[in-house]
Amino acid sequence: MQLIQSWKSSLKFFAPTNIKLFGLLALNTTVKTVSVWFRLFWPLFIVSIVADLLPIPLIGLFAKFLLFMTLFLSVRPSVRKKNYFYFSRYKWHALIIGVLFMLKTLGFQWMSGLNSQVADLLVLSWIFPTSLVSIFVTPFMLFYLDSHGSFADFFWSAWRSIKMVFFGLPFFLIIVGAFSAVFYVLLLVAFRGFLPFSLFVRSLPAGLLGLFGLSLVKHLLFILSVPAVAVYANFYTKRLHDQFNLYFRA
């Protein structure tokens, strides 16, 4: 019964009386996130792109992790002013997430046999809103950033994010479907015909120009993921307020 009620309440976000307000809230969160993220961390984009063009994949991977981490810290609701001091408070969270992020990416590269550029792209695509994996990423990151950052908190945050997705499944599936439709419409307009993402990657020219094109795709994924992250973050905040005992039951 609780599950059905939770699914019904998740659909209320799309009611005519709520969807406009929720959409404006998501837009406001997106603008604020981009403003903070780009204003403080634009050098990371440059470092990450340059690293993609040179044989220094570990530096590029580290820069992308910092972009990943700072994105979620930028979107996270906070009463503190978001400056470098605010971000420095999450060193322990970044250490644990960073080690796992690096191991996951390098392991994926080793198991798939792909070069570092393509493997890096596939891992980063997991936060893109057309990916089902992405619906777990934002709740997990927000739960974890709201914790003390211990190793135990990492697993509790993973469990709580699974519960949030499960009890809000209709909302997440609709959002993924909506962002997927928008993405493929943009793809259709850009290429005047359906072009699978993998085919686009394969069509890039060889050499430095191809590496630059692939690097732009990676960072475009980051930027285009911000609206979806903002939507999920607003949903997280509302559900945590309404269903706190469901996730932090004694």
Q: pLDDT digits over 6-29, tens only?
A: 999 999 999 988 999 999 999 999
Residue 132: per-residue pLDDT: 81
- pLDDT tens per residue, range 25-49: 999 999 999 999 999 999 999 998 8
Task: Identify the sign of the CA torsion 223, 26, 170, 142.
Answer: positive
Q: Which of 95-99, 115-119, 185-189, 198-202 has the highest mean pLDDT?
A: 95-99
The whole-angstrom separation of Cα 218 and Cα 105 is 14
The whole-angstrom separation of Cα 157 and Cα 34 is 25
pTM of structure: 0.87
Q: Token match 């406009």: residue?
A: 20
The whole-angstrom separation of Cα 51 and Cα 44 is 10
Q: Which residues touch 138 (CB under 8 Å, ≥6 apart)?
A: 72, 75, 228, 229, 232, 233, 236
Confidence of residue 123 (pLDDT cuts 50, 70, 90): low
